[in-house]
Amino acid sequence: MSDTSGWGPQAPYGGPQGPRGPYDGPPPGWGWNGGWAPPPPPPKPGVIPLAPLGVDHVLGGTFATMRRYAKPLFGTAAAAYGLLAAVVIAAAVLAYVSVREHFQALSETDATFSWGHGRPLLIAFGAVWLVGLLATLAVNSFIQASCAATLHEAVLGRPATFAAVWRRAWSRTPSVMGVTLLLAFILLLPMAACVLLFVSFFVTVMTQSAAPFGLVFLLLLVVTPLAAWLYVLFAFAPAVAALETAGPLAALRRSARLVRGAWWRTFGISLLAGIIVVVVSLAVRLPLQFATPAPPRVDPGTSASTVMLDQLRSQFGLYALFGLVGSFVTQLAASVFLPLVTAVLYIDQRIRKEDLARTLTEASSVQEPAP
């Protein structure tokens, strides 16, 4: 998988777009014999036409990429999630082995809690949580980079292999990870405001004063739109980091320049993609929830261990396996679908502002060298 020249910044918005190329055809509205004729369709070497895209082209190109390049896309994502599960399980096992004696001491009958035994448990499993958080961040960044790497070839109509996508995504993962971490900090703003709102509610109930709740509610009203605006403004940064080999800060600045003037369009199409993911997820999960067997009735004389065993049998059966598989499939699809939509929007903005269509058309006509 070779890098296509021209993915980097090109002509600025409003700048010269160069002379008309041979693929442009006659001027729109004129036929070769002087009569009216419709303009020729834009070239389409891959999954999207190389022209400004509508919503149907954005979503259609995304679904076409997922269908034609299912093996590199979903194979890479599944392998990454499998690696994530292995890392988290290994970290949990190591943590348990290191504090097994303290855990057994607190699990004994009539055992009382003491910091001598509790502190090692908190430290060990806090380390597991931190390892899982960092591994999840790395895996999600890797999947975003793999989606951009696959779309790079899908737009040009070239094949993409699992190994080639893996190599290219792995080389860009550190930069995409930096961008993802900065975007996560942006999302922490409304989350922190929600936590403060929850705390202020209890303060209001206890002190009979509405001032804390009112102030935090106003803060939430200000912070949430600000975080949404910043998140959309920097939405193209992962694609920039993967396709233009830019660093995290340079990718954020580049995304802001591309989104400028198209914020509402980017927000609307991204929101539509999110709604599609939610609807599909509910369509998979709701039937499984309705099919969940009701817990067995508890008799007064039944022992606690028997009650717990009956509850586990009712809640963890064949349906639970189907639910786990369904959740994994929907998560896998969402982790691929959303980054692809954003990457297609990024290409669309570059076509509109920088005449990227010309570069892609020329690149698609070049024979890809054999590996």
Tens of pLDDT, residues 140-180: 999 999 999 999 999 999 998 899 999 999 999 999 999 99
Closest by CA to 70, choosing from 15, 140, 147, 152, is 147
Q: What is the mean pLDDT of residues 345-366?
A: 88
With a cut of 50, say whether residue 88 has pLDDT above it: yes
Q: Which of 24-38, 46-60, 168-182, 246-260 has the lowest mean pLDDT?
A: 24-38
Number of Cα atoms under 13 Å in the Cβ half of residue 157: 15
pLDDT in tens, 254-265: 999 999 999 999
Q: What is the pLDDT of residue 36?
A: 63
Q: Which H or E run contains 39?
A: none
Residue 18 clears pLDDT 60, i.e. is over it: no
pLDDT: is 311 or 354 the higher one?
Answer: 354
pLDDT confidence of residue 313: 56
Which residue carries 């007064």 as its tokens?
300
Tell me, what's the pLDDT at 82?
92
pLDDT (0 to 100) of residue 223? 79
Is the predicted pLDDT of residue 60 greater than 60, yes or no? yes
Q: For residue 358, count CB atoms less than 10 angstroms from its CB and return exposed for 0-12, middle for 13-18, buried for 19 or more.
A: buried
- pLDDT for the residue 281: 87
CA distance 351 to 356: 4
CA torsion sign, 193 to 252 to 84 to 71? positive
pTM of the shown model: 0.78
249-271 in b/e burial notation, b at 16+ Cβ within 10 A? ebbbebbbbbbeebeebbbebbe
pLDDT at 74 exceeding the cut of 70: yes
Segment 97-124 shows an average pLDDT of 73
Cβ atoms 23, 362 nearer than 8 A? no
pLDDT of 235 reads 93
d(CA 89, CA 95): 10
- The CA distances from residue 155 to 178, 249, 340, 347, in Å, are 26, 26, 12, 9
In the block, residue with structure tokens 């009539």: 110
Is it the case that residue 291 has pLDDT exceeding 60?
Answer: yes
Q: Which residues contact 184 (CB under 8 A, 6 or more apart)?
A: 137
Instruction: List the one residue out of 208, 255, 201 whose CA is nearest residue 231.
Output: 255
Looking at per-residue confidence, does 105 or 131 come out higher?
Answer: 131
- Asked whether residue 21 carries a pLDDT value surpassing 50, the answer given is no
Band of residue 71 on the pLDDT scale cut at 50, 70, 90: very high
Q: Does 35 score more than 70 pLDDT?
A: no
Is it the case that residue 5 has pLDDT exceeding 70? no
Per-residue pLDDT tens over the stretch 171-220: 999 999 999 988 888 878 777 777 776 777 666 666 666 666 667 677 77
**Which stretches does DSSP call E strand in 9-138?**
none
> Which amino acid does the sequence have at 322?
F
d(CA 276, CA 328) in angstroms, rounded, equals 17
What 3-state DSSP class applies to 208?
coil
